[in-house]
Structure 1
């Protein structure tokens, strides 16, 4: 996998980085609320049971959505997101926690992974099996200088 790391300035910039031809989005350990506090909500469960007006906190779950859902999630200003773009839906049996770290990305590639985005506050790491995709981002005038600065910063051991 090829990888880029650089600073990002806005959700619009993040949105501009995604491959719009791939609509299967998987967000690992999505946490819709960054702070730990209780809030009231209705909770619909798989079996149809609805828990009305319950209090929840510390919610974290895996989420599959499409590009429209991703755009809404980016607008939530979540500080940390692990976003995977797949060319197909991931199977129920595939859980990231059970994958061996050394083979994780190869197994995910076999299941259709194209690109991975790790958003950590103002830093984004983009990993992809598609060298053309990475090269296009590197050559994008909006990001090219930031990518070079980050590479220089890392090479200098900062």
Structure 2
């Protein structure tokens, strides 16, 4: 897998890095509200049970969405995101943390993974099975100086 790490100035720059040809997005361990404080929300379970006006904190979830949904999530300015870009939706049984580390990449590739983006505050790490995708980012005038600086 090809890898690249460099600084980003804002979450809006993430959008410029995404491969718009792949619309199946999986966000692993998404935290919609980073502050360790209580906040109000409604919640509905799979079987239809609804909870209104719950107080929650430190809510973490896996999210499947499309590029439009990801754009809205990026606008939240979350400081940590684990974005997996697949060629198709992932199966219900695929749990990343349960995959053996030694062949995790191969299993993800077999399930259609194309690119992985890890946003960690001001840094982004991009991993891709496609070397041309990484080369395209390395040659992007918006990011080239920052990439050179990290190397």
Give me the TM-score of the superposition, normalised by structure 1: 0.94
Structure 1 window deviating more from structure 2 (61-70 vs 49-58): it is 49-58
Distance between the aligned counterparts of 1:104 and 1:91, measured in 2? 15
Q: 1:7-86 maps to which residues of 2 (within 5 A)?
A: 7-86=7-86
1:103 aligns with 103
Q: How far off is 1:10 after superposition?
A: 1.7
Distance between the aligned counterparts of 1:40 and 1:9, measured in 2? 30
- Following TM superposition, the consecutive aligned residue runs of length 4 or more in structure 1 with deviations greater than 6 angstroms are none
- Unpaired runs of 5+ in structure 2? none
Name the Cα RMSD after superposition.
0.7
Q: How far off is 1:89 after superposition?
A: 0.6
Distance between the aligned counterparts of 2:11 and 2:40, measured in 1? 27
Structure 1 window deviating more from structure 2 (84-93 vs 32-41): it is 32-41
- Unpaired runs of 5+ in structure 1? 152-158
CA distances 1:80-99 after superposition (whole Å, capped 9, x unpaired): 00000000110011101110
Distance between the aligned counterparts of 2:71 and 2:40, measured in 1? 25
1:134 aligns with 134
Question: Alignment length, in residue pairs?
Answer: 151
Give me the TM-score of the superposition, normalised by structure 2: 0.98
